[in-house]
Chains A and B, each alone.
Chain A
């Protein structure tokens, strides 16, 4: 029995921990920073943004209906909105993972824990649960498993799930009804980004509101302070690489500045970066070690292009206010090419050096 469903048993046995049973033959040198620890670090880094997200979902709801916005009811309301999302995500996603591990006779990899944690954070609070399940299955199946499972995916599965919802069911993830949970008809629930991009300059929040995150949006994306706490954790533990994170902001800022100065976009450059999912994407999505570029110089280029493309998509295409998602997915596809060019360039340089030396 346990042999037959080994993948499932093994997954239960090693759930978020390494069991004490170890190989007793010749020694294996293993680094303590294995995939489990990396995944747990990312999840810890996500917690501040998540807790704020709970509160904000409740706050936006009670604010829209004109009720009391006390701390605990808001937090509880948001938590109850988030809980079914995360359960559905894990059940459907892990179902696919276990199934494939079983067919391939492999262990269930931990890769899905972060993906399943991220997916509810980048969805609107009221998204129908069956859509979340379909999107998760699609993302895990076609983003990851058909390419060989965790570590072989070239697209970020969490973003793929969001992109699937964005293109397949646009009515639940864009427009002005979805970002505030159970909003009354009189209140527009559009994100400020979408409103300003479509000519409602008066909907522009103050910079302070953008940083604090008391605006409608995805569950995890609004509070920049909470995200920056996560960024500090990720950078300090070196789970994420600053060589990706910093260029994303640099590229985004320069492009936003150009757009602002040429009059393409009415939003100030620093506000532009704080709106929508730019910061969240830069910190948690672009830095995914599997799908990002791997070479050192490649990482700079990869990050820079994400920042530039995200702002360009936002400004030039009013239908896609969330350019960050599309920019990261696009650069995920180009990351192997960037790496290849960097490596080829390196080889060429070394060869040239060798030729110069042999001539002397």
Chain B
């Protein structure tokens, strides 16, 4: 069990391997799309890990990337349709980034590094944990960005009106992608400070 928990802490795909950063910058301006995105990536990563692991002995090595892409895109389309039918507003907000899960390097990375050489159930676990590790960072970044950038959490205003009346202003830089990059940098900084001690 312990080896699967790595992605949540000291082997986090975003913080250590710096994979999947582009979507982490794009969808973290608010908490809700970030959670939905984390969920989608977890589902796609786990399912495609499982399927690829099932058929790992029948895939010809020379065309394995194509096969992987095929499997991943199947699940991405499934997730996209699910989002469109159940949470349409968030699906609108995420727009192209759901489709771009296909190119998320964490998923391809796990397929190549884990699913091709492990049995289906461990692969499933690995996919879930890596998806959650990715989601964890996304949620933390989105929490601070939405709180400081819009004064809201999950679209509910949390900064009281009296603060605004007293001269408090939302930080516009938090809404812009550069600040997400800086926040991820700060998280990496903090993480290294803890793990290297």
A binds B: yes
Chain A residues, CB < 8 A from B185: 146
- A172 near B169 with CB under 8 A, answer yes
Chain B residues, CB < 8 A from A167: 172-173, 176
The proximity string for B residues 168-181 relative to A, scoring 1 for CB distances below 8 Å and 0 otherwise, is 01011110100000
- B189 near A146 with CB under 8 A, answer yes
- B167 near A128 with CB under 8 A, answer yes
- B171 near A168 with CB under 8 A, answer yes
Give min CB distance, B23 to chain A, whole Å: 22
Known: A128-B167, A146-B189. A164 touches B173 (CB 8 A): yes
Give min CB distance, A42 to chain B, whole Å: 28
Give min CB distance, A295 to chain B, whole Å: 29
Give min CB distance, A14 to chain B, whole Å: 30
Give min CB distance, B148 to chain A, whole Å: 9
Query: Taking the complex as formed, is A170 at the interface, i.e. its CB lies under 8 A from any CB of chain B?
Result: yes
- B167 near A169 with CB under 8 A, answer no
A169 CA / B172 CA spacing, docked (Å): 6
Query: Taking the complex as formed, is B121 at the interface, i.e. its CB lies under 8 A from any CB of chain A?
Result: no
Interchain CB contact (< 8 A) of A142 among B169, B174, B182: B182
A-B pair count, CB < 8 Å, reads: 21
A208 CA / B177 CA spacing, docked (Å): 43
Question: Helix, strand, loop or mixed for chain B's interface?
Answer: helix
A146 CA / B188 CA spacing, docked (Å): 12
- B172 near A168 with CB under 8 A, answer yes
- A168 near B189 with CB under 8 A, answer no
A86 CA / B178 CA spacing, docked (Å): 28
Chain A residues, CB < 8 A from B171: 168-169
A128 CA / B171 CA spacing, docked (Å): 14
Give min CB distance, B149 to chain A, whole Å: 9
The proximity string for A residues 167-209 relative to B, scoring 1 for CB distances below 8 Å and 0 otherwise, is 1111110000000000000000000000000000000000000
Most buried by B among A130, A164, A168, A172: A168
- A171 near B173 with CB under 8 A, answer no
Query: Taking the complex as formed, is A131 at the interface, i.e. its CB lies under 8 A from any CB of chain B?
Result: yes
Chain A residues, CB < 8 A from B189: 146
State which residues 146-196 of B face A: CB under 8 Å.
167, 169, 171-174, 176, 182, 185, 189
B174 (CB) vs chain A CBs: closest residue: A168
Chain B residues, CB < 8 A from A142: 182
A168 CA / B168 CA spacing, docked (Å): 12
A169 CA / B167 CA spacing, docked (Å): 12
The proximity string for A residues 210-230 relative to B, scoring 1 for CB distances below 8 Å and 0 otherwise, is 000000000000000000000
Give min CB distance, B29 to chain A, whole Å: 14
- B182 near A170 with CB under 8 A, answer no
Chain A residues, CB < 8 A from B176: 167
A sample of 21 cross-chain residue pairs with beta-carbon separation below 8 angstroms, ordered by A number, consists of A128-B167, A128-B169, A130-B167, A131-B169, A142-B182, A146-B185, A146-B189, A164-B173, A167-B172, A167-B173, A167-B176, A168-B171, A168-B172, A168-B173, A168-B174, A169-B169, A169-B171, A169-B172, A170-B172, A171-B169, A172-B169
Q: What is the interface of chain A, defined by CB distance below 8 A to chain B?
A: 128, 130-131, 142, 146, 164, 167-172
